[in-house]
A and B are shown apart, each in its own frame.
Chain A
Amino acid sequence: MTSPPTTTDAGTARSASGATRALLRNEARLLRREPATVIWAVVLPLVAATVLANVPATRSPNADLGGWSFSQVYLPTLIILTASLLSVQALPALLAKYREDGILKRLRTTPASPTNLLVALFVLMGGVSAAVALLMTLIPVVSGVPFRGNGLAFGLVVVLTLVSFTALGLLFAAVSPNSRFATGIGTVAFFVLAFFAGLWIPRSLFPATLATVADWTPSGAASRAMLDSMQGDWPAVQSVFVLVLYAAVCAVVATRMFRWE
């Protein structure tokens, strides 16, 4: 898509990364001004993780959960909750609104490109999700429940989950004719993803058929892979395959269909 920078483009390439940084700062500032998003995606998951890690009944292993504690089984769920709120619900609604308001088109008239804005939003939403995920992983450790598992695998799965969800959000932004549609499709997707991630029923309590279906959804595959790595294993090939598949298919379709105006 982009031609390799030549000597005459060097100055422009430099200012393009500057533009992305400026847009990132600006979008971060605007996100802070959306209290609903901040509370649901950042504050509540962190509070929930803190409570679960400190209440004796939820921090100790539970026979009904196959020896897991509630604090443990909800960690992947809460990480997925934040990621889906930011990347699958907020991101497409915002992009569709920016397109509707002519902001993406307006950026095309400047040395910055709307691509810089897309990158800034991916980094912002992914970065906030990653930071919240890290904090939620560390909260039980601080509360005296050490993380025993394959930390590297867990970290990689979280990153792969964020990439996959961002691609899904971009796809929603690409297919939405307007911001209302994007908000609607994002909200429905959020509930579906949260369900398969075990928000209402912990994953370990899913009946067998439901678990099979869940394993083919991005959030089901993500939570399964995170739980596997929390047990010290590497995630199942299927989980990784599902996440990569969603990421690739959504990204390819989205980039083909995305319109600036």
Chain B
Amino acid sequence: MPIISVTNLRKAYGENVVLRDVSLEVEAGEIVGVVGPNGAGKTTTVECIGGLRRADAGRIEVDGLDPSTNPPRLREIVGMQLQECRLPAKITVTEALELYRSFYPAPRDAGELLERFGLAEHRRQRFGSLSGGQQQRLSVALALVGNPRIAILDELTTGLDPQARRDIWAFLGELQSDGVTIVLVTHFMEEAQRLCNRVAVINDGRVAAFDTPDALATATDGAQHLAFTPSLTVSDADVNRMRALPGVVSLTVTADRVVATGHDIATPVLMFLAERGITPLRLRVESPTLDDAYLSLTTADQDGPG
């Protein structure tokens, strides 16, 4: 049974319809990514799930609770990190963590969180004097301080350097092995690809696709790119033979590089080269990525309403 289920969610702010029809199911223990262009309705969706906004239509259940009725139990099992939330400038890191710990019945250890989020040496520093990345890490730590069963993280790694981002990813991986369900809104396809079991692409108030990152990447007709420098000169006849190989859509030869594009072309091209005794040097194979999938899903109906 899914721990979060969202059915036919609709939400408008005045004339502006943000969610047209959003349905999602998140299984317990899953990490689900929510991606989509700015204004697509990602934040509105997760804020409805977290009970901060009430949808105009549709149904949400979070562990059997209806978030729109603001049940106290929901606050204990859901930890939320919001975009653009600033703490008072003069509160210190430890004070903020201890304050938020005091709200929960069974909070996490503050020291552990300080270590995990690289804030231990800044524990006495005031929020206003922290760097943007440190503030961001504190905000993620505060979302997890209550030991939530469900963590909703809105752009958790925005503004972080690559190392800090990887540290947080590693920590989220551990949370998942502890059984925590994570919903994360992100702009980084790399983050979604690495971390998420499934990714929901939201576009124009609808779920354009919801599947594993790999399935999304391959389902969207993404092309494979193959590039190499041949060890021997390739004859014109061989170039034409390669162009005729199954799956190859295009093939170009420049001074020393051969670039082929198509579907599942790596094996036939490489086998052909082996037959001819040509070694492909500096070989690069690029498979379709989540990025490609994302772009093809979100640019399809740009001229639609909104």
Kindly provide the distance from the CB of A70 to the nearest chain B CB, expressed in whole angstroms. Answer: 37
Of chain A, the residue at the smallest CB distance from B96 is A26
B52 and A111 contacting across the interface, CB-CB below 8 Å: no
| Partner of A105 from B72, B78, B85, B91 at Cβ < 8 Å | B85
Task: Let me know if B105 and A11 touch, CB within 8 A.
Answer: yes
Give Cα distance in the complex from A22 to B52, angstroms: 23
A177 within 8 A of B: no
B72 touching A12, Cβ below 8 Å: yes
CB-CB under 8 A for A30 and B91, given A110-B100, A111-B104: yes
A34 contacts across to B, CB distance below 8 A: 90
Complex Cα–Cα for A29 and B103 (A): 18
Nearest CB of chain B from residue A179's CB, rounded to whole Å = 12
Q: Known: A18-B102, A26-B91, A26-B99. Is A102-B72 also a contact (CB below 8 A)? A: no
A103 within 8 A of B: yes
Q: How far is the CA of A44 from the CA of B84 in the complex (A)?
A: 38
For the complex, would chain B's binding face be called helix, strand, loop or mixed by DSSP majority? loop
Report the number of A-B residue pairs with Cβ-Cβ less than 8 Å. 64
In Å, the complex CA distance between A112 and B79 comes to 12
Query: Which B79-102 residues sit within 8 Å CB-CB of chain A?
Result: 79-80, 82, 84-88, 90-91, 95, 99-100, 102
- Interface positions of A from 109 to 160, Cβ below 8 Å from B: 109-112
Inter-chain contacts of B191 with A (CB < 8 A): none
| Least distance between A99 CB and chain B CB atoms (Å) | 11
Determine which residue in A30, A108, A109 has the highest number of CB atoms from chain B within 10 A of its CB, and name it: A109
> Would you call A15 an interface residue if the criterion is a C-beta within 8 Å of the partner chain's C-beta atoms?
yes
Cβ proximity bits A21-51 to B, threshold 8 Å, 1 near / 0 not: 0110010011001100000000000000000
Cα separation A101 to B90 with both chains bound (whole Å): 14
Chain B neighbourhood of A26, CB < 8 A: 91, 95, 99
Asked if B103 contacts A108 (CB within 8 A), the reply is no
**Which of chain B's residues has its CB closest to A26's CB?**
B99
Chain B contacts for A109, CB-based, 8 A: 50-52, 75, 78-80, 82
Q: Is the beta-carbon distance between B50 and A29 smaller than 8 angstroms?
A: no
Q: Which residues of B contact A33 (CB under 8 A)?
A: 90
Would you call B76 an interface residue if the criterion is a C-beta within 8 Å of the partner chain's C-beta atoms? yes
Evaluate whether A23 and B82 lie within 8 angstroms (CB atoms) in the complex, with A9-B72, A110-B104 already known: no
Interface assignment of B146: CB less than 8 Å from any CB of chain A = yes
Quote the shortest CB–CB distance from B155 to chain A (angstroms): 13
Is A19 in the interface zone, CB < 8 Å from B?
yes
Point out the residues of chain A lying under 8 angstroms from B104, CB to CB.
110-111
Assess the B103–A102 pair: CB atoms within 8 A: no
Asked whether A110 lies within 8 Å of B146 as measured between CB atoms, the reply is yes
- What is the CA–CA distance of A129 and B262 in the complex, to the nearest angstrom? 76
Contact, CB under 8 Å: B99 / A103: no
Contact in complex: B82, A106 (CB < 8 Å): yes
Q: Is the CB of A111 within 8 A of B88?
A: no
Complex CA gap A98/B51 in Å reads 20
Q: Which residue of B has the minimal Cβ distance to A34?
A: B90
> In the bound complex, do residue A110 and residue B103 qualify as a contact, i.e. CB atoms below 8 Å apart?
yes
A-chain residues with CB within 8 Å of residue B50 when the two chains form the complex: 109
Whether B82 contacts A15 by the Cβ 8 Å rule is no
By the criterion CB–CB under 8 Å, are B91 and A15 in contact? no
> Closest chain A residue to B78 by CB distance?
A109
Assuming the A-B contacts A103-B85, A105-B52, A110-B104, are A23 and B90 also in contact, with contact meaning beta carbons closer than 8 angstroms in the complex? no
Interface residues, chain B, with chain A CB atoms under 8 Å away: 50-52, 72, 75-76, 78-80, 82, 84-88, 90-91, 95, 99-100, 102-105, 142, 146
- Nearest 8 pairs between A and B by C-beta? A102-B85, A109-B80, A101-B86, A22-B102, A12-B72, A112-B103, A111-B75, A33-B90
In the complex, besides A15-B103, A101-B87, A111-B105, 14 extra interface pairs with C-beta distance below 8 angstroms are A11-B105, A30-B90, A101-B86, A102-B85, A102-B86, A105-B52, A106-B80, A106-B85, A109-B50, A109-B78, A110-B75, A111-B75, A111-B146, A112-B103
